[in-house]
Structure 1
Amino acid sequence: MQHDERAGVLVATAGFVLLSVGDAIWKFGVEEWAPTAMAATRYLLGALGLAAILALREGRAGFRVARPGVLLLRSVGVTLATSCFVTALRFIPLVEVTALAFVSPIFTALLAGAFLREPIGRTTWLATLGGFAGVLIILRPSFSDLGPVAFLPLASAFGMSMLVIGNRLSAHSGSPLAMQFQVAAPAALMLWLVAIGGDVSGLPFLAIGTPGILVLAICLIIACMATVAHLLVYLGTVRAGAASVAPMTYVQIIVAGVLGWAVFGSRPDLVALLGIAVIVGSGMFLWHSRAPVALQDEAA
């Protein structure tokens, strides 16, 4: 039993590492093409691949939608999270974007009180204050240079929280594969609408233009890596349990820091490290004090 738990934690951790590697690959691509168009292409390719596998494994039954309203919530969450995250990568160091996105568990705890009627106790409020103190520490130097763009990772975190709440509301309404497809397909459409809106805005970095082969290859690689990563997190969570796997999510910040330094030459200063430590500490405090959200739902 203990062997299974350790193996499950290792499998899930491999999934989290793969997600961070994918984020680093994103950062290469957003310098070459509009980040919103890259996100839209990634989800379109992912949706097509998932549709083919789902059709072979489950047939028509796999495409049935049980709760359209909840599906819309999940899809909007993915659209907001992805478009804001990849756009932020163009302007902000990888480790800082990743760390700020980890405010998501705090947003989730607050949204759970509104949507799921879960009590919001003193622990949640203390974690919220701590998490946003960390956010302010990280953003203090960034905001003066970047302006509102510095808040994109927070918008991404909020979108991810919407997805988690939607996943919990739609629990057991389909297989993990079907749940992934039902998010990816509408999110691809929404992301293309966002990309077109960005192109129309006239902002140079959002101009769609014609992508190169390398950019399209990056989108395909990220789509495959993300699908495999989510599967690993799901399998690891099934074997080890959400409580054992949840703390391993923070390995993404470590991997992002190493890759950001080694690949992009962006070493976080002491102020940024302090902010990251406060966010991670707040998240761990929240996780330790209450039952964590099941990661098999989040993986969808």
Structure 2
Amino acid sequence: MTHASDDSSTQASMTAGRLDRRGLGILLVITGSLSLTWVDSSAKWLLLHGLDAGQVIFIRFLLPCIVLSIVFLPRRGFGILRTKSPKIAFARAMCMIATTFFNFMALRYLPMTITGAIAFTSPLILCLLSGVALGERIDWQRWIAVIAGFIGVLIIISPDSVPLHPAMLYSVGMAVALAFYAIFTRKLAGVDSNVTQQFHASFAGLLFSLPFAFQEWTWPQGTWSQVALDWFFCALIGSAGLFGHTLYSAGHKFAPATTLAPFTYSQLIFMALVSWAVFQQGPDVNFFVGLPILVGSGLFIWYREVRIGTRMRPAARPPR
């Protein structure tokens, strides 16, 4: 009886430990989603206050480059920049740049609820691309989920919710780039370390934006409080991106992606709250009607891919 009791106690302790680790992983991913929300809000703030898109992209990548260089180069040297698959690493970095550029251009003109909803069609686009990129067959269940997801987005961005704007095409471009980014990230899994991938994306973004950043460089202007806020968001846009990615990576060490996938959609809720609190652009009824359809379709696609054992993962928001 004693041995049986000890075994039961040990098993219960191990189960509780696994649940604690999964809970921590979920908390890290939710916190990472909140952090990445501030990348979008910071970009929108700076763009609305007169900074050029190239300048904002440059500022976005500057701080991560500095922090990564200080933390990792002294310990690991320049070998950490070496990739075993340069073509895929280059393609991934270009997708990262395209994602950031399209997103920031859209944020200048559109509410965050709209850009966020369109961005989260990337799992649907990824599902469609998987047939071409990975030679997978898309079954009818996933076709229905993809169609339903796009219907959910159409409800959110319907003309009675927000006037149709050409900048929505930027958000569509961002969603497509994000889907390709997810494909190339999966191809690099187990090939390059996460730190190496972050180095490539950050330095590529910095170098790409450098020629454009100083063409129309604008220093924060206005009262001292306005200038202080602008500098605050300049610091926040880089630190929030780096912090958010770090939390995402840490979260996946404590819990499997199947557990964490639903919680990546918490970013849409955070974006709605921040959009309302900072920019007075709160969500309307259509957002709350279309959101469950979009989220449900994305989660169903993820569930189907897990069931059939595919190698794809949901295209959660990338480091901005």
Q: TM-score, normalised by structure 2?
A: 0.82
> Are the counterparts in 2 of residues 96 and 138 from structure 1 also a CA contact under 8 Å?
yes
Distance 1:36 1:18 in 2: 22
Name which of 70, 95, 111 aligns with 1:77: 95
Q: Deviations over 1:260-282 (max 9, x none)?
A: 12222212222233233322221
3-state SS of 2:176 partner: helix
1:293 alignment partner in structure 2: 313
Q: Deviations over 1:139-168 (max 9, x none)?
A: 331898453212221211111112111111
Instruction: Decide which moves more: 186-195 or 258-267.
Output: 186-195
Q: How does 1:198-217 map to 2 (within 5 A)?
A: 208-212=216-220, 215=230, 217=232
Does 1:54 pair with 2:87? no
2:265 alignment partner in structure 1: 250
| 1:285 Cα deviation from its structure 2 partner | 1.7
Distance 1:103 1:28 in 2: 24
Name which of 142, 145, 150 aligns with 1:124: 142
| 1:84 Cα deviation from its structure 2 partner | 1.2
1:143/1:166 Cα in 2 relative to 1: closer, same or farther (>3 Å)? farther
1:202 alignment partner in structure 2: none
> Are the counterparts in 1 of residues 36 and 319 from structure 2 also a CA contact under 8 Å?
no
- State which structure, 1 or 2, has the greater radius of gyration over its C-alpha atoms: 2
1:69/1:297 Cα in 2 relative to 1: closer, same or farther (>3 Å)? farther
1:203 alignment partner in structure 2: none
2:223 alignment partner in structure 1: none
Amino acid at match of 1:165: I
Name which of 36, 55, 63 aligns with 1:45: 63
Q: How does 1:135-150 map to 2 (within 5 A)?
A: 135-141=153-159, 145-150=163-168
1:3 alignment partner in structure 2: 20
Structure 2, unaligned runs of 5 or more? 1-17, 221-226, 307-311
2:173 alignment partner in structure 1: 155
Structure 1, unaligned runs of 5 or more? 200-207
1:275 alignment partner in structure 2: 290
Does 1:13 pair with 2:30? yes
3-state SS of 1:293 partner: coil
Distance 1:167 1:173 in 2: 10
Name which of 169, 174, 191 aligns with 1:173: 191
Aligned residues: 290
Amino acid at match of 1:276: L
3-state SS of 1:30 partner: helix
Distance 1:37 1:146 in 2: 27
1:35/1:182 Cα in 2 relative to 1: closer, same or farther (>3 Å)? same
| 1:216 Cα deviation from its structure 2 partner | 5.2
| 1:298 Cα deviation from its structure 2 partner | 6.2
> Are the counterparts in 1 of residues 57 and 205 from structure 2 also a CA contact under 8 Å?
no
Distance 2:158 2:299 in 1: 23
1:31 alignment partner in structure 2: 48
Distance 2:137 2:163 in 1: 39
> Are the counterparts in 1 of residues 59 and 234 from structure 2 also a CA contact under 8 Å?
yes
Instruction: Decide which moves more: 32-41 or 99-108.
Output: 32-41
Instruction: Decide which moves more: 157-166 or 21-30.
Output: 21-30
> Are the counterparts in 2 of residues 19 and 229 from structure 1 also a CA contact under 8 Å?
yes
More helix by share: 1
> Are the counterparts in 2 of residues 139 and 150 from structure 1 also a CA contact under 8 Å?
no
Q: TM-score, normalised by structure 1?
A: 0.87
2:104 alignment partner in structure 1: 86
1:171/1:130 Cα in 2 relative to 1: closer, same or farther (>3 Å)? same
> Are the counterparts in 1 of residues 38 and 237 from structure 2 also a CA contact under 8 Å?
no
> Are the counterparts in 2 of residues 246 and 295 from structure 1 also a CA contact under 8 Å?
no
1:295/1:9 Cα in 2 relative to 1: closer, same or farther (>3 Å)? farther
- The runs of at least 4 aligned residues of structure 1 exceeding 3 Å deviation read 142-147, 191-196, 213-217, 294-300
